Amino acid sequence: MAPDLKRSRNTLIVAASLLVIAVACVVTAACTEPGSPVREPGPSLAGTSWTLDSYIAGNGTLVPALAGTEVTASFSDDGSLTGSAGCNSYGTIYHLDGANLSIEPPGSTKMYCSEPPGIMEQENRYLALLTEVASVRLEGDRLILTDADGTDLLFFEQATSSPELSPVGTEWVLQGYISPEKEAISSVIAGTTVTATFTSGGNLTGSAGCNRYGGGYTLDGANLSVSSLFSTLIYCEEPEGVMDQEALYLALLEDVSSWRLEGGRLILTDADGTDLLFFEQAQVEQES
């Protein structure tokens, strides 16, 4: 074979080989520049719920969550993070990119809890630490949130699901509700008590803060709808704003589409996945 012809054939073979490699790189995305870091996939948080086990204190020591408190974090697939901070309910937005996690400053209800001692200090520390989070990792059933310096801040255990739990048969006391603009969570006005009881017969009854109300509800798994609401027609002047709160509460009930229990709290949500109403179980008075 002539040398020029042989060189041409070899050139075509090399070119064909390079084309095959290039196509394989495009199809499999397996080729990287020399020295390029390989991006490790991060954990999937959407649809998971966690209970705080311990956290880093201001002096840098690791302390367990207070006995008798339950601090929770639930990550929704729409990018929202909600939970109980121990006393108050909170909500915010999270951004997850691989193992990188950032959490926007949370909003919360504004209740004050005196028991157990130290609960408000723990709550304030927890909410502050959330905003310092820069990354996340999973170790078994534990979720660990870390700051930009690599310091582990918050340690969670996976929340256990209890499919037998139900909102039915319990009196619930409203702790917070979404604002009309659905931009923040408001606490119930001091001096008012708003309640909801779902009876086994499909009836919903309670106090809206001033008036008694009632209606029907339909429960199908996690789906919940409220219908045919009615109330008494008393007008209350005190405390200020009670009637506006009552009207908003009843309107929000009619928007409810689903429910969930989170750390012993009942949360009612609309069809878009927005948390509307936050309840706690009513305290049962002990007979003396």
Question: What domains sit in the chain, N to C, each tagged with a CATH number?
Answer: 48-158 (2.40.128.270), 171-281 (2.40.128.270)
Q: How many CB atoms are closer than 10 A to CB 210?
A: 21
DSSP state of 59: T
d(CA 246, CA 190): 13
The DSSP annotation for 159-181 comes to PPP-TT--SBT-EEEEEEEE-TT
Half-sphere exposure of 42 (CA within 13 A, CB side): 17
- What is the pLDDT tens value at each position of the chain, 288 positions in all? 555 545 555 554 444 444 444 444 443 444 444 554 444 567 889 888 899 999 999 999 999 999 988 899 988 888 888 888 888 878 889 999 999 999 999 887 777 787 889 999 999 999 999 999 999 999 988 999 999 999 999 999 987 655 456 899 889 999 899 888 777 788 899 999 999 999 988 999 999 999 999 999 999 989 999 999 999 999 999 999 999 999 999 999 999 999 988 767 899 999 988 889 999 988 765 444
Q: How far apart are the first and last CA of the chain?
A: 110
d(CA 230, CA 232): 7
Nearest to 159 by CA among 255, 52, 288, 45: 52
